[in-house]
Homo-oligomer: A and B are copies of this chain.
Amino acid sequence: MEEQIVSMKSDFFKALAHPTRVRILERLAKNGEEVCVCDLIEDLGVEQSNLSQHLSILRKQQIISSTKVGLRVMYRIKFPEVLTILGNVQKILAQQFKEGEALMRHLADR
């Protein structure tokens, strides 16, 4: 049972572990409102099919939710804690930058 919960936590992180999915969340966070898929395609500059797959992963984890309005599908962030988490990551990276480690490590790895 405790095993299950740990596994669910890592699944949650796995859902955030892709640049496109982070960008989706930051775009949705921008104006707390709903954003349609069509706008996300433009703003993120990714293929519709690819974007749809990433949205599906975030939906499955209940991180975002969607509503159909006519032709459009509107997406929004479901839990404000997600924004807190993104903020904390930002904070950690900022501290790592101060130590001058983050960027170098990142560049070294690719």
Chain A residues in the interface with B (C-beta under 8 A): 3-14, 16-19, 21-23, 26, 60, 62, 79, 81-82, 84-86, 88-93, 95-96, 99, 101-103, 105-106, 109
Contact across chains for B92 and A11 when beta carbons are under 8 A apart: no
Q: Which residues of the other chain, B, contact A5 by a CB distance below 8 angstroms? A: 93
In the complex, which residue of chain B has the Cβ closest to the Cβ of A63?
A: B92
A18–B17 Cα gap in the complex (Å)?
Answer: 11
Whether A62 pairs with B101 at a CB distance below 8 angstroms is yes
Residues of B within 8 A of A11 (CB): 17, 106
A102 touches B9 (CB 8 A): no
Kindly report which residue of chain B lies nearest to residue A81, judged by CB atoms.
B88
